[in-house]
Amino acid sequence: MPKTLEKPIATAAPVEMKAPSSRLLSLDVLRGVTIAFMIMVNNNGGHGSWWFMNHAEWDGLTPTDLVFPTFLFVVGLTTVFSVEARLRRGATRSQLAWHTLQRAAILFLFGLIVNGFPFFRMAHYRVYGVLQRIAICYLIVGLFYLWDRRVWTKVAALAGCLFGYWILVRWVPVPGAGVPVRDIPLLDPNQNLVAWLDRHIFPYHLYEDWVTHNTRDPEGLLSDIPAIGTALLGMITALWLRTQRALSQKTLGLVAGTVFCLASGYFWSIWLPLNKKMWTSSYVLVAAGYSLVVLTLAYWAVEQRGIGKGKANWLVWPWLVFGSNAILAYMFSEVVPSGLENITITSAGAHISVIAWLYMHTYRHIPDPGWSTFAYSVTVCAVCFIPVWILYRKKIFLKV
């Protein structure tokens, strides 16, 4: 069946390393849960899959719409802990800035590979993408944190991203269409400033209806602004977790952040709907709130109660494995199914892809389409688990 819809991959020989004892395991758990669900929803089996395994058509929210922002939230979290750890080991800010530039460039390149694999047709080659957005957000928040490590500057930047983007999509006229609300609907799928800009930057190189209609891209340029806000929220959370307060106080702080993000986001959505494809400001806050829900539970269980640190390890072990080499798992989940979709075999006189053949002879025998497609998703996730599990056993964590 066709698909419906980050540590990282090495550019040199992988190095063997051990996680320090001070490592925040709950963060690895959050990253592992996120990448596992991301693999499943990106390979959801297509038609017949349950609603929560699909993105909302336009306005609104499903659990699938929370996966990508949670990963960006984790990017902000890990940036703080990574920078502070490297500074303690003696690295200079200029060295870390150069590393940030290199890593962002490599992530962007990986995204281009994912978009084009295996044929790389340039006529409608998509430039935007998931890894590309991660690269841009990581570059900006990473350099920002190296320049200034204070909390209030991150809060100010977050407010600037969210309110600035709201002003752009609500009050700036869309050329040839007019002012939102007055002349055109707010967040019209085709007539909005985000889509208009993308159509002029990369005409016929966009994700949605890229051959015939050239309409929009869910990872477009202008919506990088609120996406940076998502990473900043993760950064602010990391700064809170690095304080000298007791673990119980930190957990309560995470609960308070959860309530604030969810309440303010849903309140804002009265005027600015939740919309993942445009990454609206209200969506940033609500998505961060749900990311904090998972992080709070993981932090309470792992850091405060000690689950996974010598007792009941099996509860967190799969997520630690996935989280240890998250970008490798993601790349594997994108490249391998894409390759198999383009290998055709003859079955009953017809030429079909290997993926379609496997689906026809296995999962299609499950009568309920929801369970059938879900079984396919779980299988893809399990297959992607194998390479990261092998590396985890060898204590190899691949880095850019």
Residue 190 CA, distance from chain mean position: 24
Residue 310 CA, distance from chain mean position: 30
Q: Given 270, 305, 340, which residue is the final one in a domain?
A: 305
For 6, the token pair is: 């980050």
Residue at 82: amino acid letter: S
> Does a structural domain hold residue 59?
no
Kind plus residue range of the DSSP H or E element containing 335: helix 326-341
Residues 108 and 247 in one domain: yes
Residues 161 and 12 in one domain: no
> Does a structural domain hold residue 60?
no
d(CA 226, CA 244): 30
> Does a structural domain hold residue 278?
yes
> Does a structural domain hold residue 118?
yes
d(CA 317, CA 301): 13
Residues 320 and 294 in one domain: no
> Does a structural domain hold residue 294?
yes
Residues 389 and 337 in one domain: yes
Residues 260 and 376 in one domain: no
Q: How many CA atoms lie within 13 A of 266 on its CB side?
A: 8
d(CA 348, CA 357): 11
Residue at 186: amino acid letter: L
* Distances from the Cα of 21 to the Cα of 303, 316, 357, angstroms: 12, 16, 47
Query: Which residue is it, tokens 């998250």?
Result: 326
Residues 335 and 371 in one domain: yes
Q: Given 305, 336, 359, which residue is the final one in a domain?
A: 305
> Does a structural domain hold residue 61?
no
d(CA 192, CA 198): 10
For 288, the token pair is: 């961060």
d(CA 355, CA 361): 10
- Residue-by-residue pLDDT tens, the chain, 400 positions: 444 433 333 333 343 333 334 578 889 899 999 999 999 998 888 888 899 999 999 999 999 999 999 999 999 999 999 999 999 999 999 999 999 999 999 999 998 988 877 677 777 788 888 999 999 999 999 999 999 999 999 999 999 999 999 999 999 999 989 999 999 999 998 899 999 999 888 887 787 654 456 678 889 999 999 999 999 999 999 999 999 999 999 999 999 999 999 999 999 999 999 999 999 999 999 999 999 999 999 999 888 888 777 655 777 888 888 888 888 888 888 888 877 777 777 766 677 777 878 887 788 888 898 999 999 999 999 999 999 999 988 888 876 5
Residue 342 CA, distance from chain mean position: 26
Residues 294 and 359 in one domain: no
Residues 104 and 232 in one domain: yes
pLDDT at 22: 53
Name the nearest CA neighbour of 115 among 273, 331, 386, 315: 331
* Distances from the Cα of 85 to the Cα of 81, 315, 347, angstroms: 6, 27, 55
Q: Given 275, 305, 335, which residue is the final one in a domain?
A: 305
d(CA 384, CA 348): 30
In this structure, are residues 15 and 354 in contact, taking their beta carbons and an 8 Å threshold?
no
pLDDT at 17: 37
Burial class (CB in 10 A: 0-12, 13-18, 19+), 51: exposed
The boundaries of the domain holding residue 160 are 68-305
Phi/psi for 55 (5° steps) reads: -75, 155
d(CA 370, CA 259): 33
d(CA 385, CA 317): 12
Residues 279 and 341 in one domain: no
Residues 8 and 42 in one domain: yes
Name the nearest CA neighbour of 66 among 285, 297, 331: 285
Residues 233 and 367 in one domain: no
Residues 193 and 96 in one domain: yes
In this structure, are residues 385 and 322 in contact, taking their beta carbons and an 8 Å threshold?
yes
As a residue count, the chain comes to: 400
Cis preceding linkage at 273, omega within 30:
no
Structurally, how many domains does the chain consist of? 2
For 298, the token pair is: 């993981």
> Does a structural domain hold residue 62?
no
> Does a structural domain hold residue 329?
yes
